[in-house]
Amino acid sequence: MWDGGEIFTQKHSLNIDTLIHIQKKISEKALSSIKARLSRTPRTALGLDAAYSKRYGGVAIAALVDISNCGLIEYSVSIGEPKLEYIPGLLAFREAALFYTAIQGLKHQSYDVIVVDGHGVSHPRYAGIATHIGLALAKPSIGVAKKKLYGVLKIIKSRESCRDFPCVIGELIDKKRSDLVLAYAVIPKCRDKSPIYVSPGAHISLDDAYRVISSMLEKSPSKLPCPTYYADKLSKKIARGLDAGTLSPRSFKLGVLSTLDKYLIR
């Protein structure tokens, strides 16, 4: 199933100090919200990830997934030129607008949790992209990142000593507050050598975030949980198709499904 939106923006100068100030304002709400416990086990998850086309800019995917079987229900795309170059710690101001547009293109607007390729509160100002999106949409959100951005990694178990996977091998401790654990470093599968970092974004505790992601990692064919696995695969394939000329933004706008069927991952 395909349903998508499309946006085009022009880059313009943004005041970095202003963006940092906004994130500092967000931090109080963020840290308060991650005390929340889930009232029920999530059934559906929305995965968000983006790739980049040399011709058209950002390609953002919103992938809706059935958690019980890791099945893709539907996905939507938005395409546009980000307003901001990549700056560590400010990813939300580069990609969030594209994600909101992609989400609006979904036929199913009901989902229980959001999983974002990026960080939650494991961020210098506790305001990673998963936090921005979770607070904006008032939904439990989780950041799953491939690299550490902030925090001191405290190893609690060697990879070699893991017997069951996913396996938590470490904690990311806040540099300013040694009592605050921001994320878990997780080895998803026995063949993986490097961890992923699971952090709460908003409206969910770290332990609940890990339980949700762990259940999806067990069913996922990759080291990524299934929502961002689909979003990652689709965004990259579509970006390559745009650059090769086999796809165009106009084809999405017109809903030409035959061109896009081969990009649907089942």
> Per this entry, what is the length of the chain?
266
Whether 173 is in a domain gets the answer no
pLDDT for the residue numbered 112: 97
State mean pLDDT over 113-133: 98
**pLDDT digits over 159-201, tens only?**
999 999 999 999 999 999 989 999 999 999 999 999 999 999 9
Whether 185 is in a domain gets the answer no
Paired sense of beta strands 57-66 and 44-53, if any:
antiparallel
Whether 164 is in a domain gets the answer no
pLDDT for the residue numbered 14: 64
Whether 154 is in a domain gets the answer no
pLDDT for the residue numbered 258: 39
Whether 214 is in a domain gets the answer yes
- Domain CATH for 114: 3.30.2170.10
Angle between helix 16-33 and helix 129-137 axes, rounded to 10 deg: 70
Domain range holding 208? Answer: 16-146+196-263
pLDDT for the residue numbered 243: 95
Choose among 185, 141, 142: nearest CA to 166. Answer: 185
pLDDT band at 83 (very low <50, low <70, confident <90, very high): confident
How many helices (H) and strands (E) the chain has is answered by: 7, 9
How many alpha carbons fall within 13 Å on the CB side of residue 249? 15
* pTM metric for this prediction: 0.90
- Residue spans of alpha helices (H) in 34-181: 91-104, 129-137
Whether 177 is in a domain gets the answer no
Q: Which residue has the higher pLDDT, 89 or 256?
A: 89
Place of tokens 């695969």: 233
Number of domains in the chain: 1
pLDDT for the residue numbered 249: 84
Whether 172 is in a domain gets the answer no
Whether 24 is in a domain gets the answer yes
